[in-house]
Amino acid sequence: MNRHVIYKVVFGALLGALSSSAFAAGDAAAGGVKAIPCLGCHGIPGYFNVYPTYHVPRVGGQHEQYVIDALMAYKDGTRDHATMQAQAASLSEQDMADIAAYFAKTID
């Protein structure tokens, strides 16, 4: 094989790998089911958790990418909150995209 063909094959494989690791479009219907645990805190207006007291933000109507970025940061530990880190730890990238799509379409 000549070098030019090898480069094309390697480039194509890398491009395919990168595109498959990107987030697929979120499915709001699937996200509604996956977000049920989230609603226990984020679905209650004016909710504060127990010690240390922390106001729990509402996420309905939030931008999809913001929700995905926040969940990724909790999962990788760059955003600090033990409960959210534990919740995000079990989520796949698709789960995050689905949950984000659900909350983006949900107001209150």
pLDDT at 96: 98
Judge whether 62 lies within some domain.
yes
pLDDT at 91: 98
pLDDT at 107: 77
- Residue 59: pLDDT over 60: yes
Quote the domain boundaries for residue 67: 25-105
Q: Is this structure's pTM higher than 0.75? A: no
Judge whether 9 lies within some domain.
no
- Residue 44: pLDDT over 50: yes
Q: What is the CATH number of the domain that holds 78?
A: 1.10.760.10
Number of independent structural domains in the chain: 1
| CA distance readout (Å), 28 to 35, 82, 92, 99 | 10, 26, 15, 7
pLDDT (mean) for 34-45: 88
pLDDT (mean) for 34-50: 83
Judge whether 3 lies within some domain.
no
